Amino acid sequence: MRPELVADSSRSESRNDVCDERWLSHELVKMRRELFAHAFRLTKSPSLSEDLVQDTVERALRFESHFERGTNLRAWVHQIMANVFFSRCRQRRRETRALQVLTTDPCAWTHSTPDPVMPDLSQATRRAIDSLPSQFQTTVVLVDLMDYSYRAAADRLGVPLGTVMSRLHRGRRLLADALREAA
């Protein structure tokens, strides 16, 4: 084989690799208006929408290897946007709770609470949670009180995702029963 043919074929392969790498960027640029409209419906704010679109695009590019060519790119990107949006909502809720505590007691961060996971719960609710079998109690506390995602809770507990979902369902049901009995 002639050396110039080998060089030409490797040059065209590298051009294809560059085009392949830019494929997602190109598609995301084409979707920008659609993404902004969806973000605006979620946030109701132009500046928050811009931030949400930027974070969505950044995450899509970072996790491009997780996308399977031939599947629905729009659905994948919109799911990323929803995940980013809901993560921000959870974060904002945690920050709001912390600010409420700090506005009533500016030195609250220096006090040790008896139970940092359940500081605002009534005694009846604490007792009901404490009465749950440990596997359900741990799952309910991680997901409902500590705002872990199902996946993060599964990783933390070392169990499959489906196990977390079933434990959470049963734990919530047992908790509701315990609270009804206490009332």
Does residue 175 contact residue 140 with C-beta atoms inside 8 Å?
A: yes
Q: What is the pTM of this model?
A: 0.49
Residues 40 and 56: their CA atoms lie apart, in Å, by: 13
| pLDDT tens digits along 105-154 | 666 555 555 445 555 567 778 888 888 999 999 998 888 888 889 999 99
Class of domain 16-102: mainly alpha
Minimal CA–CA distance to 116: which of 97, 93, 90? 97
Average pLDDT over residues 19-31: 84
| pLDDT tens digits along 32-78 | 999 999 999 888 889 999 999 999 999 999 999 999 888 999 999 99
Fold (CATH) for 112-182: Arc Repressor Mutant, subunit A (1.10.10)
Please report, rounded to a whole number, the percentage of residues in the chain having pLDDT higher than 70.
75
Q: Is the pLDDT of residue 13 over 90?
A: no
Residues 148 and 141: their CA atoms lie apart, in Å, by: 9
Residues 161 and 112: their CA atoms lie apart, in Å, by: 33
What amino acid is encoded at 26 in this protein? H
Token digits for 68? 């399977």
Q: Where are the domains of the chain?
A: 16-102, 112-182
Token digits for 75? 């659905």
Q: Is the pLDDT of residue 167 over 70?
A: yes
Q: How many CB atoms lie within 10 A of CB 23?
A: 13
